Amino acid sequence: MISTGSIAEIQALISKFKSEGKKIGFVPTMGALHDGHLSLVATAKEKVDIVVCSIYVNPTQFNNQDDLKQYPRNIEADKGLLAENGCDVLFLPSDEVMYAGRNTIKFEFGDLDKVMEGKFRPGHFSGVALIVSKFFNIVLPDYGFFGQKDLQQLTIIKKLVEELFFNLEIITVPIKREPHGLAMSSRNERLSKEDREKAKIFSIALTEAKSILMEKQSSEAAKSKVESLFANHKAELEYFEIVSDKDLLTKTENYLAPDTVLCIAGFMGNVRLIDNMYLSGV
Ligand code: AMP
């Protein structure tokens, strides 16, 4: 695995690979890698010749400076995992390389960045869109691999690619979960052992809400089930939404259609977690 923090070096490598007719897959991450990230790398490895990963904790997508400071960083372990799992090129840029003191461009996505995460993390998706655009322009991948775990991010990135004519295809990778159901996340490292066990309530609540809707009961019944499960487990619910994956707007009917996805966010202790589940499938 070649590892570099230099844009010029990455661009030289990419043009060499492209001149050899190789297809490039790109997996952006913020590090503190777990099996969820590695499933993106494995999916990319199957589809392309060269897998490029990035590890960069992007300051412009954090609206809370404490969250940025506390974000887990495990760079040496991450390098080992990526090398063992088939990453060919690792891009590890510094803030100076990515921003050089600039942070002027803002993105707006209409309703897409106002709902759910957008309500609780103002500016977050503008920062995500900015860094992903920079990466796409540097790496020029044929495919970008993103996790369903961050469903709203995925919808926004698809929109970004479509509207800015980025010449690549976005591939969605399903959510990887711990054995008791908790969606894998770098933030899980910040949970105490006890809270990590209790955090399974996020996926349990989604599963219960899903079966209520599949039994054709009301969305109110699903919501009140989620609220009572959270209250009983001393977890704090920020939102539970039943939305379409197309526009992220609340659905009020036709729940059994394939676009319906249940999204949840909240706190276990002082760690903020998100999860989602399609009504059809997982
Ligand atoms: P992050 O490092 O949290 O920015 O995540 C980098 C990529 O990994 C994003 O596309 C995430 O959606 C994806 N990802 C994070 N957690 C999981 C998971 N549990 N299963 C699958 N993909 C994930």
Name all domains of the chain by residue range, CATH numbers in brackets: 2-173 (3.40.50.620), 186-275 (3.30.1300.10)
Check residue 103 and give its pLDDT: 81
**Mutational pocket test of ligand 1: of 27, 37, 161, the residue with most ligand atoms within 8 Å of the beta carbon:** 37
Residue by residue, pLDDT tens for the chain (282 residues) are 999 999 999 999 999 999 999 999 999 999 999 999 999 999 999 999 999 999 999 999 999 999 899 999 999 999 999 999 999 999 999 999 999 988 889 999 999 999 999 999 999 999 999 999 999 999 999 999 999 999 999 999 999 999 999 999 999 999 999 999 999 999 999 999 999 999 999 999 999 999 999 998 999 999 999 999 999 999 999 999 999 999 999 999 999 999 999 999 999 999 999 999 999 865
Which residue among 29, 186, 277 is best mutated to probe the pocket of ligand 1, counting the most ligand atoms within 8 A of its Cβ? 29
Q: What is the pTM of this model?
A: 0.97
Which residues are catalytically annotated?
37
Q: What single-letter amino acid sits at 154?
A: L
Beta strands in the chain (DSSP E): 2-4, 24-29, 50-55, 89-91, 143-147, 169-173, 236-244, 260-268, 271-278
> In the prediction, which pLDDT does 148 show?
98
Q: Was 184 annotated as part of a binding site?
A: yes
pLDDT at 104: 86
Tell whether 133 is in a known binding site: no
- Burial annotation 88-103 (CB, 10 A radius, 16+ → b, else e): bbbbbbeeeebbeeee
Number of neighbours of residue 230 by Cβ within 10 angstroms: 21
User: Given the CA of residue 184, which atom of ligand 1 is nearest to it?
Assistant: 19
Please report the pLDDT score of residue 281 as a whole number. 65
Task: List all residues whose CB is within 6 A of at least one atom of ligand 1.
Answer: 29-30, 36-37, 39-40, 146-147, 149-150, 173, 175-176, 183-186
Atom of ligand 1 minimally distant from the CA of 149: 12
Q: Per the annotation, does 32 bind a ligand? A: yes
User: Looking at residue 109, what is its pLDDT?
Assistant: 97
Partners of 144 in beta bridges: 26, 170
Ligand 1, atom nearest to 40 Cα: 22
